[in-house]
């Protein structure tokens, strides 16, 4: 009877600890959810999820804020078919998250006629919260240890990287759930394989579904699947010397999983190849002839690793704060790597190293190798977007958690010696890393870490500060990315609730009417802008944003303000003041 009570007590204790992690993760992810500015990728999510289109926004004509923001107005007549069609014809992403978001939006009323920002970001938050119990399951499946599972859940709850992705109206947190599901099946399959047991059909079915839905959420999940395949190939050559009928059947089943997953994923790849606009992914192509570009990937990966565990205000406006934060983060990263390395070294010396470390380590190493191949082959800027590291985020958290758990199991790891006289006990080490993660999450939700790549709020601040009551804001338009950027400025100006006499802001998406390199009778964007400005009553401020050249003749009696040139994340602009002819 006593043992039963003990088991029940332990069972409820595990539920209680996991619930604390979920509660903390929930609070962190919902705090200040709508305080950060909306950036262009989020506008894409919102517009396509609503079933709307960017093509309804007119080009080369004066727009009011209401006209520019019309795609953000919920349309009760739109269906999920509209979402899929507009996504395939105007964007580059698979549809699953956008379809779910389409139905999710119907739960939230509009705000002043426009979409609810809280509703737009809350679905990503929900999936981010679900990742906490999900990674608890992955930790337990991998190491069969509740200690590993609890540490994994605790680190996921306060991960600055996880919190930042959750507060973004994008598909990354759902993709993380599919990565966790796929890696869970991957680990269980290896365990069956090495123990010469038959792979169950339900495991194979779940694995195929997770793989296909993962790629239907984000194409980069393919990187995780490719790494799993590479690890299995290596395992086959190392462990398959003694063939049995069970092993042969298992390998046949694994080939089936691979084929079915490839078939399911290829559907979306064909769709992407037929519909995607190459201009939308042009930013990812880099110049490998630049020496800085050649060494950047080497430094970008450690930065991504660090933000998964801790983050300090390295995006502060104060240079001293940035330098101190960077130095401290480097020290924390070194401490973490040293702690993991020491745990592995001691476990190996005592013949207590578990093969699960090798499996996860090989998977993560292969994913990183694929990233480096892409970075140095063609996609040289792929690692500059830290968010893409979601493909190995869950297994890395579990690998670190498994390493930290060794400090509770091996007497030789009762403490970590940093310097000769500075030591950290096992409990203090885990608690210290968790606290640093919590601080990092607070840095994220306070807005001084993981800031949005584009900052239309800063642009709107400058415009409303210097150009009241009348201004024309124009951007060089290429794709819907520029429409999104202009929407961000209009959205932020609306948020400021300016007096009525200070709301006469107009917008112009200046799109080339033809290709100057091919056609001779072409009107350049500069000429289009010149013609438009001359038709607007003066005085007038003209804000020129993201033009190939910001030094242009925008109109008669228009003078460039030499002191008003600014560059904020995602934007570069200048102000011209146009006066009435004397």
Token pair of 185, please?
């099946």
pLDDT band at 524 (very low <50, low <70, confident <90, very high): confident
Domain annotation covers residue 318: yes
Out of 445, 472, 496, a domain closes at: 445
Q: What is the pLDDT of residue 292?
A: 60
Out of 425, 445, 465, a domain closes at: 445
Q: Does 409 share its domain with 538?
A: no
Residue 430 has pLDDT above 90, yes or no: no
Q: Does 369 share its domain with 490?
A: no
Look up the domain containing 522 and give its range. 31-83+454-582
Domain annotation covers residue 403: yes
Q: Long-range contacts of range 438-441, CB-CB < 8 Å, 24 or more positions apart?
A: 438/24, 438/28, 438/158, 439/310, 439/311, 439/312, 440/158, 440/159, 440/160, 440/307, 440/309, 440/310, 440/311, 440/312, 441/28, 441/158, 441/159, 441/160, 441/163, 441/311
- Sign of the CA dihedral with 436 first, then 442, 445, and 448 last: negative
Answer for the pair 578, 558: CB distance below 8 angstroms, yes or no.
Answer: yes
Mean pLDDT of 209-224: 93
Q: What is the pLDDT of residue 527?
A: 85
Question: pLDDT tens-digit profile of 291-331?
Answer: 566 666 677 788 888 999 999 998 888 889 889 998 999 98
* Other beta carbons less than 10 A from residue 340's beta carbon: 17
> DSSP alpha helices (H): ranges in 2-55?
2-30, 40-49
Q: How far apart are CA 162 and CA 173, in angstroms?
A: 8
Q: What is the pLDDT of residue 1?
A: 41
pLDDT band at 350 (very low <50, low <70, confident <90, very high): confident
From 48-62, 106-120, 261-275, 325-339, the region with the lowest mean pLDDT: 261-275
Domain annotation covers residue 511: yes
Half-sphere exposure of 241 (CA within 13 A, CB side): 2
Residue 242 has pLDDT above 50, yes or no: yes
Sequence-distant (6+) residues with CB within 8 A of 8 are none
Q: What is the pLDDT of residue 245?
A: 63
Q: Does 171 share its domain with 280?
A: yes
Residue 243 has pLDDT above 70, yes or no: no
Helix (H) or strand (E) run with residue 432 in it: helix 426-445
Residue 519 has pLDDT above 50, yes or no: no
Q: What angle do CA 336, 342, 347 make, to 5 degrees?
A: 130
* Predicted TM-score of the model (pTM): 0.90
Sequence-distant (6+) residues with CB within 8 A of 31 are 445
Residue 185 has pLDDT above 90, yes or no: yes
The mean of the pLDDT values for the chain is 85
Residue 217 in 3-state DSSP? coil
Question: pLDDT tens-digit profile of 154-166?
Answer: 999 999 999 999 9
The number of domains in the chain is 2
Q: What is the pLDDT of residue 412?
A: 66
């Amino acid at each position: 009877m006593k043992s039963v009570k003990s088991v029940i007590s332990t069972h409820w204790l595990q539920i209680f600890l996991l619930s604390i992690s979920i509660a903390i993760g929930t609070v962190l992810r919902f705090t200040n959810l709508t305080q950060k500015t909306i950036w262009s990728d989020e506008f894409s999510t919102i517009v396509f999820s609503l079933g709307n289109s960017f093509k309804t926004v007119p080009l080369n004509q004066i727009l009011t804020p209401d006209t520019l923001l019309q795609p953000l107005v919920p349309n009760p007549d739109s269906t999920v078919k509209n979402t899929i069609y507009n996504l395939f014809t105007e964007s580059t992403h698979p549809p699953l998250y956008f379809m779910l978001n389409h139905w999710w939006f119907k739960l939230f009323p509009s705000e002043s006629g426009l979409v609810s920002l809280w509703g737009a970001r809350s679905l990503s938050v929900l999936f981010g919260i679900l990742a906490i119990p999900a990674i608890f399951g992955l930790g337990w499946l991998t190491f069969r240890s509740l200690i590993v599972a609890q540490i994994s859940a605790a680190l996921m709850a306060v991960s600055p990287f996880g919190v930042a992705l959750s507060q973004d109206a994008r598909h990354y947190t759902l993709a993380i759930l599919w990565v966790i599901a796929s890696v869970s099946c991957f680990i269980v399959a290896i365990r069956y394989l090495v123990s010469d047991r038959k792979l169950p059909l339900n495991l194979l079915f779940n694995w195929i579904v997770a793989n296909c839905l993962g790629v239907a959420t984000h194409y980069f999940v393919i990187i995780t699947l490719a790494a799993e395949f590479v690890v299995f190939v290596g395992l086959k050559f190392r462990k398959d010397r003694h063939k049995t009928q069970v092993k042969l059947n298992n390998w046949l089943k694994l080939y089936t999983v691979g084929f079915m997953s490839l078939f399911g994923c290829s559907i979306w790849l064909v769709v992407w190849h037929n519909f995607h606009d190459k201009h939308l992914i042009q930013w990812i192509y880099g110049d490998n002839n630049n020496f800085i570009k050649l060494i950047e990937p080497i430094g970008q990966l450690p930065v991504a690793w660090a933000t998964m565990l801790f983050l300090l205000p390295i995006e502060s406006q104060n240079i001293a704060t940035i330098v101190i934060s960077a130095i401290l983060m480097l020290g924390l990263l070194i401490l973490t790597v040293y702690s993991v390395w020491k745990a592995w070294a001691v476990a190996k010396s005592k013949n207590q190293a578990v093969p699960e470390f090798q499996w996860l380590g090989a998977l993560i190493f292969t994913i990183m190798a694929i990233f480096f191949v892409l970075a140095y082959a063609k996609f040289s800027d792929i690692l500059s977007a830290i968010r893409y590291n979601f493909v190995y985020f869950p297994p890395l958290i579990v690998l670190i958690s498994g390493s930290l758990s060794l400090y509770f199991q091996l007497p030789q790891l009762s403490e970590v010696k940093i310097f000769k006289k500075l030591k950290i006990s096992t409990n203090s080490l885990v608690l210290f890393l968790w606290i640093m993660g919590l601080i990092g999450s607070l840095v994220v939700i306070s807005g001084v870490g993981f800031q949005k790549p584009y900052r239309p709020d800063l642009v709107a601040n400058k415009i409303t500060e210097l150009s009241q009551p009348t201004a024309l804001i124009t951007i060089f338009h290429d794709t819907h990315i520029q429409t999104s950027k202009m929407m961000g400025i209009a959205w932020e100006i609306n948020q400021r609730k300016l007096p009525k006499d200070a709301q006469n802001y107009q917008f112009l998406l200046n799109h080339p009417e033809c290709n100057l390199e091919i056609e001779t009778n072409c009107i350049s964007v500069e000429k289009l802008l010149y013609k438009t400005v001359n038709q607007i009553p003066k005085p007038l401020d003209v804000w020129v944003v993201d033009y190939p050249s910001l030094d242009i003749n925008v109109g008669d009696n228009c003078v460039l303000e030499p002191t008003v040139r600014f560059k904020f994340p995602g934007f570069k602009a200048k102000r011209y003041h146009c006066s009435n002819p004397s």
